[in-house]
Structure 1
Amino acid sequence: MLGNIKVVAFDIDGTLYPSFSLYIRLIPYIIRHFKFYIHYNRVRRIMHRTAPLPDFYEYQGRLMAEELGCSSLRARAMIKLIAYDGLIPYFEKIKPFKHVDETFKTLREKGYKIALLSDFPPSQKGDIWGLIPYCDLILGSEAIGALKPSKYPFGVMAMAMEVEPSEILYVGNSVHFDVRGANNAGMKSAIIASPLKRMFSKKIKEADISFSNYRQFLNSVL
């Protein structure tokens, strides 16, 4: 079913750790910065539909400046302070899904290359729960110039890994951003189901692999 997969690539947020464990911790922080996040979420919706940009951060800053009625420089500083740097301490308290480390280790032992592709700066997650040594490539789509589900960051990842898109299996937690983005780029896709879908054991039809835990995923790949 998977053919000649050489690279297994992963999203980070909601894919390597449960989203709810972060959201619960963020409630006071979001309330404190509620006005900022209302505007920021509008900007991100636009950025998800925007073609690849030579300077993602500059354009995002301009959009945010229009939302907030301030200078672009001020808007970029606020995004960095609140949306990027401000979340770093919260990730220090997050634990990954069970068997993630085992999965990465086994994939490397079996000869697969491993990549990370995230819409937010991977550096925000520190050492990414000790997974960095297993990774051949770590990319943030913002730095590349376009957010998922654009085919562009997936294509850049394939070129950087020196493989054909069809030789990559991309693992995520979103049908729209991860599964469709990877499929449209010519890659195979896998999705970790939400708690509700896991409860009813529903398969995500658009993904090549639908799984509820990482041991199940590993068995599917191997």
Structure 2
Amino acid sequence: MMANAVLFDLDDTLYPYSPCRDAGLEAARKTAREFGYDFDRESFEDFYQTGRTEVKRELSGTAATHERFIYFKRALEELTDESRPGDALALGDAFWEAYLEEMTLFPAVEETLETLQSAGIDVAITTNLTTRIQLAKVEKLGLEPYIDLLLTSEETGREKPGSVMFTLPLARLECRPSEAVMVGDDVEADILGANAVGLETVLWNADPDEPLEGRRAPDHRIDAFEELTEVVL
């Protein structure tokens, strides 16, 4: 198909997530040790997961469920039985500073976006997380010249696979679902959600052996990012 618009997920779709997460956690751990907390890598991971699990349970379906400052705030409260906002802020700042520093695009992403732009195809990013950090990621990756719209779940009050995360960017781009493609790595959030709205779907950077059926099945799977142009042009 010749698409009029392509919607992209951001995290683990345009750049690899895991190295950034690991760098962020290590920086936060070192900051915690400077503050007198005796964490090795294993115990710090347990500490982090304590806060993360609590936040995921209580705030599921909201952008705040991804917020590392809340993870650290809750984990510190659980660990110390005290409110330690300064420490939580320092750990969160250390995490995101190192995370952003580690970020780099997947191969061929910039060239593919340039090709889409040259073809007159609108490009949007629709992403689950808070707006400030996603803006910082877009800036760090140098994506601003290539995108026409960024939409976060904080703005809509709903997370993917909620339909508004697909219908709202399409409305702003004045594009019908049948004229658009969604590209993502997450079957539940990206593929299931976009299929339900009627977009053509492309699964990338996912387990190639996972069997997918029904609305969880993408229209296309790609093994290299540059293969996307064969789908949309």
- Three-state SS of the structure 2 residue aligned to 1:142 is helix
Aligned match of 1:166? 178
**Structure 2 vs 1, CA of residues 155 and 92 (structure 1 numbering), >3 Å: closer, same or farther?**
same
Aligned match of 1:124? 136
Aligned match of 2:193? 181
- Three-state SS of the structure 2 residue aligned to 1:16 is coil
**Structure 2 vs 1, CA of residues 78 and 140 (structure 1 numbering), >3 Å: closer, same or farther?**
farther
TM-score normalised according to structure 1 size: 0.74
Looking at structure 2, the residues matched to 92 and 20 of structure 1 have their Cα atoms a distance apart, in angstroms, of 13
Letter in 2 for 1:220: V
CA deviations over 1:180-205 (Å, ceiling 9, x no partner): 011112222111133x52xx6x7866
Post-superposition shift, 1:47?
4.4
**Structure 2 vs 1, CA of residues 214 and 182 (structure 1 numbering), >3 Å: closer, same or farther?**
same
1:113 and 1:135 in contact (8 A); partners too: yes
**Structure 2 vs 1, CA of residues 126 and 183 (structure 1 numbering), >3 Å: closer, same or farther?**
closer
Aligned match of 1:154? 166
Match of 2:114 among 94, 97, 105: 105
Letter in 2 for 1:179: I
**Structure 2 vs 1, CA of residues 85 and 21 (structure 1 numbering), >3 Å: closer, same or farther?**
closer
Post-superposition shift, 1:115?
0.4
Q: Which stretches in structure 1 are left out of the alignment for 5+ residues?
A: 51-55
1:217 aligns with 2:215: no
Higher-Rg structure is 2
Looking at structure 1, the residues matched to 15 and 149 of structure 2 have their Cα atoms a distance apart, in angstroms, of 19
Looking at structure 1, the residues matched to 218 and 17 of structure 2 have their Cα atoms a distance apart, in angstroms, of 20
**Structure 2 vs 1, CA of residues 21 and 85 (structure 1 numbering), >3 Å: closer, same or farther?**
closer
Match of 1:134 among 146, 150, 155: 146
Post-superposition shift, 1:219?
2.4
CA deviations over 1:4-29 (Å, ceiling 9, x no partner): 52110111100011223224324424
Letter in 2 for 1:138: L
Equivalent residues in 2 for 1:62-73, closer than 5 Å: none
Aligned match of 2:10? 12
Looking at structure 2, the residues matched to 76 and 18 of structure 1 have their Cα atoms a distance apart, in angstroms, of 30
Which sits farther off after the overlay, 103-112 or 177-186? 177-186
Q: Which stretches in structure 2 are left out of the alignment for 5+ residues?
A: 30-40
Aligned match of 1:38? 50
Which sits farther off after the overlay, 103-112 or 76-85? 76-85
1:190 aligns with 2:210: no
Looking at structure 1, the residues matched to 48 and 147 of structure 2 have their Cα atoms a distance apart, in angstroms, of 34
Q: What RMSD, in angstroms, separates the aligned Cα atoms of the two structures?
A: 3.4
CA deviations over 1:48-67 (Å, ceiling 9, x no partner): 547xxxxx65xx9xx98999
